[in-house]
Amino acid sequence: MKRLAFAALVVCTAAAPAAAQDATAIVGRAARVYRSMGALQADFAQTITDPMLGPEESRGTLVQSGQNRLAMRFADPAGDAIVVDGKQVWVYTPSSTPNQVIRLPVPSGPVYGFNLLGWLLDRPAERYRVRFLRTEAVSGRQTDVVELLPKSDDIPFSKAILWLDQEDALPRKLEVRERGGMTRMLLLSNLRPNAPTTEKTFVFTVPRGTRIVDQ
């Protein structure tokens, strides 16, 4: 269940205004690309680090369509899944809690609870103070690395770092530090913007013998 829970740089004073402007433009471009996509598919490798328990790694595929449809299906741990079908959220983790699936209602507004890209790229200028950190290669792609600091305590993490592709502005990597101290790192690969999806993509079929727990 941990996987669901969802370095300082010294910048010289003279360069700070330009860096801030660059960061705003970089994140703004990524937000426009994000809003323009009908869907996004990608492979992911996720590492969640708990200060008390250490790191937990997982991988799988992610499909997102709009703000209220999301499917994360895990290859490792095999069979785990998080599916948001537009009306309900299904959390199925047989690797840790077998024979049980949690069902939650979809809240009004974007389903940010499980949609990290929505948290970070929906109206970022309103939600965050942004800062350019550096450029860095991720899986052979050159990226701009920017830091996002929430302006409000309503956002459930204290800091986020995004690695945004210099060519297509898509996120290649992201890291969020949750307010409870946990850190989530998500590496995205084989990104397929606007790849076709079907209704079946966002359907969760409850396995036979599995108990539904409503929350």
Q: Please state the pTM of the whole predicted model.
A: 0.83
Selected residue with higher pLDDT from 176 and 12 = 176
DSSP 93-115: -TTTSTTEEEEEEPPSS--TTT-
Instruction: Report the C-alpha gap between 114 and 154 in whole angstroms.
Output: 15
Amino acid at 191: L
Q: What is the pLDDT of residues 167-212, one digit of tens each?
A: 999 999 999 998 878 899 999 999 999 998 888 999 999 999 999 9
- Token pair, residue 192, equals 């397929």
Q: What is the pLDDT of residue 156?
A: 80
Mean pLDDT computed over 29-34: 94
114 pLDDT band (50/70/90 cuts)?
Answer: low
Task: Categorize the per-residue pLDDT at 102 as very low, low, confident or very high, splitting at 50, 70 and 90.
Answer: very high
What are the Cα distances from residue 123, in Å, to 62, 112, 190?
A: 22, 13, 25
Cα–Cα nearest to 59, from 33, 84, 78, 41 = 78
Mean pLDDT of 151-173: 92
Residue 195 burial (CB < 10 Å; 0-12/13-18/19+)? middle
Confidence band, pLDDT 50/70/90 cuts, at residue 110:
very low
Q: Which residues pair with 22 in a beta bridge?
A: none
Q: Each residue of 56-67: pLDDT tens digit?
A: 899 999 998 877
Q: What is the CATH number of domain 15-206?
A: 2.50.20.10
Q: State how far the Cα of 161 lies from the Cα of 12, in Å rounded to an integer.
A: 20
Q: What is the pLDDT of residues 131-149, one digit of tens each?
A: 999 999 999 999 999 999 9
What is the structure's pLDDT at 215? 85
| CA distances from residue 90 to 28, 53, 82, 203 in whole angstroms, order as listed | 32, 25, 6, 9
- Domain spans in the chain, listed from the N-terminal domain onward: 15-206
In this structure, are strands 211-214 and 100-105 parallel, antiparallel, or unpaired? parallel
- What's the helix, strand, coil split of the chain in %, to 5? 20, 45, 35
Nearest partner of 85 among 58, 105, 59, 60, judged by Cα: 105
Contact residues for 42 (Cβ-Cβ < 8 A; gap 6+): 61, 62, 188, 189, 190, 191, 192
Pairing of strands 78-84, 171-178: unpaired
Looking at residue 189, its pLDDT comes to 96
In 3D, which of 117, 88, 121 has the Cα closest to residue 184?
A: 117
Does the structure show a pLDDT above 80 at 1? no
